[in-house]
A = this chain, B = another copy of it.
Amino acid sequence: MKVMKRLFEVDNWKIIESELHKDEFRLAESMMSIGNGHMGMRGNFEEMYSGDFHRGSYIAGVWFPDKTRVGWWKNGYPQYFGKVINSINYLGIRVLVDGEEVDLFKDEVKEYSRELDMQHGVLERKFTVVKDEKETAFHVVRFLSVAESQLAVIKYSAVPVNYDGEITFIPYLDGDIRNEDSNYEEDFWQEESIETGEYEAALVMKTKGNPFGAPVFTVSAAMKIEAEGDVVSVSPNQKSEYADNIITMKAEKGKASVLYKYAAVTTDRDHPKDALIAKGKAVLAEQTEKGYAALLEEHKAGWLKRWEMADVEIEGDAEAQQGIRFNLFQLFSTYYGEDARLNIGPKGFTGEKYGGATYWDTEAYALPLYLSTAKPAIARNLTVYRHNQLEGAYHNARQQGLKGALYPMVTFTGVECHNEWEITFEEIHRNGAIAYAIYNYVNYTGDKAYLHEYGLEVLTGISRFWADRVHYHAKKAVYMMHGVTGPNEYDNNVNNNWYTNVMAQWTLNYTMKTVQYLKENGHADKIDELGITSEEIEKWQDIAANMYLPYDEEQQVFVQHDTFLDKELMPADELKPEDRPINQNWSWDKILRSCFIKQADVLQGMYFLNDQFTEEEKRRNFEFYEPMTVHESSLSPCVHSILAAELGMEEKAYEMYNRTARLDLDNYNNDTEDGLHITSMTGSWLSIVQGFAGMRTFNETLSFAPFIPKAWKSYTFKIVYRDHLITVKAEGTNVHLSQEGPELSLKLYGEDAVLPENGKLSAAINSAVVQ
């Protein structure tokens, strides 16, 4: 694959832009995004910019049900398309030099740099602006605190290089903000209240009402300003949905005029609606008391602590190193598990495309990473999130006239809010991933209490859905599932998608196993409470035992869906370069009829249920399907990397790793300007840990089988596994494991091994012989 666009220097810990990319401004803005779980923003400039850009700042959990846009609405279509909404601009600071506005699009700019320090979560800009021969050197530092997530901090400094004059700063709050992707160009916000004083202002905005019963949100941004320098005048102003301070300072050649802007963003998700400004002011008072330097240190310490548990070090491949860190940085900026009401949006806080906050990506790709890189409570929150939305899932099934629970493809509340029928009520395999996540969480953590507290209720809802969604084909004596879309969205409305059917079968079996376990472990009451009868179990048993799983005897592969083998089959290599990516160059008609696969489909099943297939089965299916796969979903390469690694196809595994790790850094899919591919960022971590290092956790047993990609000298990562913090280092011809925690039995290259209490263990690569 060609590198599409690399605007940034390769660096271990930083994303560095050393020239102003006016033509790729949106792409650079996406890449320079920061967030702290509570809120986040694209890498917009504080000051005025008259070129093309996309101002975007988003608050976790604050969304709007935009009216659906479909050609012809039919029963069962979702009523609205929920979207993350662009909210109050608390970032803005206009800057004037002797009354002339600084505008990096029009002004002469020298010594420009923008750096995102991923280690500390700080965005920094330096640049010199020349206006009428007056040169001014600027330095801007910005962070969204991970110590106090309602706090944003900006330090904006200006030094006249060759003149004496005046610098004017106009820090402001602007509530007149719209989504670029509003379906009907509507404004989602209205002003609730506003106040302005010297060095301070506060604005409260509320989302407009809606006919869908979706919640209305109230958010407030309060700002407090500090000026360092010779202030000449301060003038507070306000108008509808907008408040500012015009602060003019005498600026002496070589001396810095500095403005600190502290903003507190509070919402009625966390506080009473009427107390938002008061709460914001309290946060500002408390935090600014500590001073800028202390706030910055607290924030940096927070990020360092995250890295301590989660960093992956790669020696010998700076690009790969930068890639994995960028991905972890952006993931943690989006979600660090503090709030069980939140989930991991596909674009995080970096853009607007897609809508919704929650996709099956979370269960399929993100959960394993959070299980291993953070405290168990965080992964638990991700699974509890779905339990909290069970009512919405029942609603979705009812909308289709079906029993049980259908988890949504896209949602904020559990209620489906996407808008393509071939996705919303056909891509139902997501239900399988949500059931699987329960298994994954319980199996990884050993937290079996989860099953009666939350797990069984969700599993029962999903199993009831599958049981109603299949139909019995009397002549063939099998259960079939018609009208689905598998993970490969390049094929819509197919029958008997193997992956969907196998995950439905798996769910039914796992639910029955869970019922059995709870019965035997003192939780029979839970089973009764859910009304699970022996007749229902029998029905599930019958469906699971007789589920139709398409298989081709001749090629000995599972068949993606009923008529897949009737297509004209050919490898993706036979495509002309100008045809790729096909989703940008081909008609949807041609794509749907082609054999080309967007992302793992049969192979997704072999990844999830990895312990249930022989190596030979995996190899045959990989060799059959991977060549037809175009990997045009950002979620595709990692699954193939992991399976390739397992099958000893090291080069393929490495190729796929690079595609996932630097997807946005190198803009592989030519769409990073719309925002980052947040949920797929887990792919690079999965490729290293489950791929190169071969980590598996089936049957409550941790195992590894590491190899080192040829281009790398070594790699090191940490995982949290139950009460162990384990470091895995693969270097040269050896693999070294060490841990903090009690003695642990595990498997290395398939052989039993023991990692001593707080001890170490080394072995030669591809051999479990302890050295």
Contacts and interface: CB of A to CB of B under 8 A. Distances in A.
Interface of A: 68-72, 74-77, 81, 184-185, 399-402, 418-422, 425-426, 471-473, 476, 480, 482-483, 492-493, 495, 562-563, 566-568, 583-590, 592-593
Contacts of A480: 566
Given A69-B69, A563-B495, A400 B590 contact: yes
B400 A589 contact: yes
A179 to B, nearest CB: 16
A68 B75 CA distance: 20
A488 to B, nearest CB: 14
Contacts of A588: 74-77, 421, 425
B71 A420 contact: yes
A77 B588 CA distance: 8
B426 A471 contact: no
A71 B356 CA distance: 14
A586 B492 contact: no
A71 B419 contact: yes
26 contacts: A69-B70, A69-B71, A70-B70, A71-B418, A71-B419, A75-B586, A75-B587, A77-B588, A399-B587, A400-B587, A400-B590, A401-B587, A402-B589, A421-B588, A425-B587, A471-B568, A473-B568, A476-B566, A480-B566, A482-B566, A482-B567, A482-B593, A483-B592, A493-B592, A562-B562, A562-B566
Contacts of A563: 482, 495, 562-563
The 8 A-B pairs at the shortest CB distance, nearest first, are namely A76-B587, A71-B419, A74-B588, A425-B589, A493-B493, A400-B587, A483-B593, A71-B420
A185 B67 CA distance: 13
Contacts of A71: 68-70, 81, 418-420
Contacts of A74: 583, 587-588
Nearest to A68: B71
A566 B425 CA distance: 20
B70 A401 contact: no
Contact of A72 (B76, B420, B562): B420
Nearest to A554: B475
Contact of A590 (B77, B185, B401, B493): B401
Contacts of A426: 589
Contacts of A583: 74-75
Contacts of A566: 473, 476, 480, 482, 495, 562
Contacts of A422: 493
Contacts of A184: 184-185
Contacts of A399: 587
Given A75-B586, A76-B588, A402-B590, 10 more contacts: A68-B71, A76-B587, A184-B184, A400-B590, A402-B589, A476-B566, A482-B563, A483-B592, A493-B592, A495-B563
A168 to B, nearest CB: 41
B483 A586 contact: no
B492 A493 contact: yes
